Chains A and B, each alone.
Chain A
């Protein structure tokens, strides 16, 4: 099962990932980093999650394909 992780050392909570896939990524109010709200990704999620990984200015997201 594929999943995506956030590197808290790099993430600065810009939220571009939320704009691309709001059902997988969220930046709760006051949170210094983005959080993952869907642990296991479906086929339908992958294209947008891959785009979010590429779009992250801090390169803080990693897709672990499984």
Chain B
């Protein structure tokens, strides 16, 4: 670990943080490179926690993102169990939970997000599914034979519902929206997905947010915003995430629902960069700062920040958003972003058959695509989105395919 201010420190051994380290070496940086992470065994494959790792009958540990040998070969020093607690931008020091003050020439903030807590009236946070430790607890729930109530109908909630149903657990899902994921997928796909969960035995309480959760001797009383109440034996909350910016409050680094950066990943403080889920990055095409919580985005943006630091550049990261979800053995791929009010057009296959290519857009603008089964369309649509093609172009490409 460098005590001088000549090295580069990456805070968070996340997909973004480790990719930034790789990008620094790829870009030719040969100096000291330290990655800090508060978890004792950091750097693992988080997206699978709510997917196959929860569904698996036998316990399988999340995959490590890098082996010791891979880190050693690139001279990346990973310091586990040492999280950042504060940042001094004048003296260029990051202070850890162990009391160290580590100097840096450049700092990359990659501490990601944490699960947004749902706290009971008694002050207890409900279990969530975000970390290796959470997975162990939820897997215990899955084998208890007791029913589970999921609070939140986003990706994590739906994936957990599918994984728990595959293990025979009785599942109730509470969702604030009239249909799960209707905004991201459009009503037609959301109706099909809802039906898939119903057919697999999930009970739904739709259209009302969770207002208040009280602990009872039997479990929990969950009061919904519309006055309904639901009793639960076990609960798992998945109502979204919050950027892990606590350690940066008051540091001078600009925060606004994440760490604010330009398109290249630079914060308002010279030498301080941010990448991954925590970065609220300037999006030139949408003319505003935006945060993405996508696996491939975290990796590509992390790498870009690493390359920029190593090469002394400020190249923007500009990629087509991509996210996937696995439920009941089906994989939904989402490219770009559906926007409110978009028209959803089936260009191949059939939604009800669970085998489709659907494009989202308005008038003549292509905004996104949702694909199930027909993966060969993914690359064509990614190229069309990258080229800012029209909805008509997307319809034409399907006709000629």
Contacts and interface: CB of A to CB of B under 8 A. Distances in A.
A19 B326 CA distance: 12
A58 B48 CA distance: 12
Contact of A15 (B15, B65, B331): B331
B45 interface: yes
Nearest to A29: B329
Contacts of A22: 375-376, 378-379
Interface string B372-390: 0001101100000000000
A21 interface: yes
A58 B299 CA distance: 13
A57 B48 contact: yes
B324 A12 contact: no
B379 A21 contact: yes
Contact of A57 (B22, B65, B331): B65
Nearest to B65: A57
Contacts of A59: 65-67, 70
A3 B375 CA distance: 21
Contacts of B376: 22-23
Nearest to B62: A57
Contacts of A55: 295-296, 299
Interface string B30-58: 00000000000000010110001000000
B63 A57 contact: yes
B302 to A, nearest CB: 9
B64 to A, nearest CB: 9
A51 B15 CA distance: 13
Contacts of A36: none
Residue from the set A12, A18, A22 with the largest chain B CB neighbour count within 10 Å? A22
Contacts of A19: 322, 324, 331, 333, 375, 378
B19 interface: yes
B375 A14 contact: no
A48 interface: yes
Interface in A2-39: 12, 14-16, 18-23
A61 to B, nearest CB: 13
Contacts of B333: 19
B344 interface: no
B277 interface: no
Contacts of B15: 57
Contact of B45 (A15, A48, A57): A57
A16 B375 contact: no
B106 interface: no
A16 B379 contact: no
B240 to A, nearest CB: 23
Nearest to A25: B375
B303 A54 contact: yes
Contacts of A15: 331
Contacts of B300: 51, 54
B379 A23 contact: yes
A18 B379 CA distance: 10
Contacts of B19: 54
Contacts of A20: 296, 322, 378
Nearest to B333: A19
A21 B299 CA distance: 16
Contacts of B47: 57
B319 to A, nearest CB: 9
A12 B303 CA distance: 24
Question: Which of B15, B322, B379 has most A Cβ within 10 Å?
Answer: B379
B63 A16 contact: no
A55 B22 CA distance: 12
B379 A58 contact: no
A10 to B, nearest CB: 8
24 contacts: A16-B296, A16-B324, A19-B322, A19-B324, A19-B331, A19-B333, A20-B322, A22-B375, A23-B376, A51-B296, A51-B300, A54-B19, A54-B22, A54-B299, A54-B300, A55-B299, A57-B47, A57-B63, A57-B65, A58-B45, A58-B63, A59-B66, A59-B67, A59-B70
Interface of A: 12, 14-16, 18-23, 48, 51, 54-55, 57-59
Interface of B: 15, 19, 22, 45, 47-48, 52, 63, 65-67, 70, 295-296, 299-300, 303, 322, 324, 331, 333, 375-376, 378-379
